[in-house]
């Protein structure tokens, strides 16, 4: 049994989608970020940076924070979405998500969606970076079905929930044909639909 410490954000959804994809038994413990529950001292014992997601694997008595590390752990446990002969490429695209796509789109959310008008410089900077991320992903997906090649992998699972915030980005996902094709293909997966709304609150994956 995996316990997932969760909030309905892109980083949280990476793990609920993965758990649905590999069909593991899991339970969700909600962390209310706006109430500051991530800073509770008990939670900080498993997530020292006070962030979601984190997991406890009760059977193996392991706890983990950082969504990329959790995805690798679950992929290794299940033997899914992390082909052993393609790990170098999968790692590369997973790190691109962890180091660039997530943090930069996260800043775009802060300045464009949550706090418009606070800093013209930051709004422009992260808008431009977000547009470049769409363009770069679109280019990658011109000759590749999925980010790390022909197979769906944890790199796609990590990236999808960030692109699923496309309505916040004001970039126009439909202008990016390859990225749109990739998005629609993943959005149609049963496990993705279930994992996206793992709290069963009726949250639908945004359409293009
Ligand atoms: N690099 C981390 C980022 C996690 C992260 O930023 N989580 C956000 C929600 S999406 C969070 O917990 N924010 C609460 C806070 O910063 O106080 C990961 O991928 O797990």
Q: What is the pLDDT of residues 17-68, one digit of tens each?
A: 999 999 999 999 999 999 999 999 999 999 999 999 999 999 999 999 999 9
Contact 153, 86 (CB under 8 A): yes
Dist. CA 143 → ligand 1 center (Å): 32
Dist. CA 36 → ligand 1 center (Å): 12
Which are the contacts of 195, defined by CB distance < 8 A and separation ≥ 6?
13, 16, 17, 18, 19, 20, 21
Q: Span 62-77, mean pLDDT?
A: 98
pLDDT tens for each residue of 98-116: 999 999 999 999 999 999 9
pLDDT-based confidence at residue 148 (cuts at 50, 70, 90): very high
Dist. CA 43 → ligand 1 center (Å): 13
Strands 2-6 and 26-30: parallel
- Determine which residue's CA is closest to atom 16 belonging to ligand 1: 51
pLDDT-based confidence at residue 169 (cuts at 50, 70, 90): very high
List the beta bridge partners of residue 149. Answer: 146
What is the model's pLDDT at position 49? 98
pLDDT-based confidence at residue 173 (cuts at 50, 70, 90): very high
The encoded tokens of residue 35 equal 């109430």
Q: Report which ligand 1 atom has the smallest distance to the Cα of 14.
A: 19
Residues touching ligand 1 (Cβ under 6 Å) are 9-11, 33, 38, 50-53, 66-67, 98
Q: Report which ligand 1 atom has the smallest distance to the Cα of 11.
A: 10
Dist. CA 142 → ligand 1 center (Å): 30
What is the model's pLDDT at position 6? 98
What is the model's pLDDT at position 106? 98
What is the model's pLDDT at position 66? 98
pTM for the predicted model, two decimal places: 0.97
């Amino acid at each position: 049994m995996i316990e997932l410490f969760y909030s309905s954000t892109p980083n949280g959804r990476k793990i609920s989608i993965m758990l649905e994809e590999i069909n593991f038994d899991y339970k969700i413990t909600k962390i209310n970020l706006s109430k500051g529950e991530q800073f509770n001292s008990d939670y900080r014992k498993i997530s020292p940076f006070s962030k979601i997601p984190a997991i406890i694997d009760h059977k193996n008595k392991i706890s983990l924070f950082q969504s990329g590390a959790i995805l690798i752990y679950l992929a290794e446990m299940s033997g899914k979405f992390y082909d052993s002969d393609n790990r170098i490429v999968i790692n590369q695209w997973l790190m691109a998500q962890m180091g660039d796509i997530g943090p930069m789109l996260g800043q775009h959310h802060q300045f464009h969606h949550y706090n418009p008008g606070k800093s013209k410089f930051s709004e422009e900077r992260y808008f431009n970076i977000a547009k470049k991320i769409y363009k770069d992903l679109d280019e990658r997906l011109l000759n590749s079905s999925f980010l790390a090649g022909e197979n769906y992998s944890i790199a796609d699972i990590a990236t999808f929930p960030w692109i699923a915030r496309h309505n916040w980005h004001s970039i126009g996902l439909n202008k990016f044909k390859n990225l749109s094709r990739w998005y629609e293909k993943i959005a149609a997966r049963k496990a993705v639909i279930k994992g996206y709304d793992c709290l069963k609150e009726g949250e639908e994956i945004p359409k293009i």
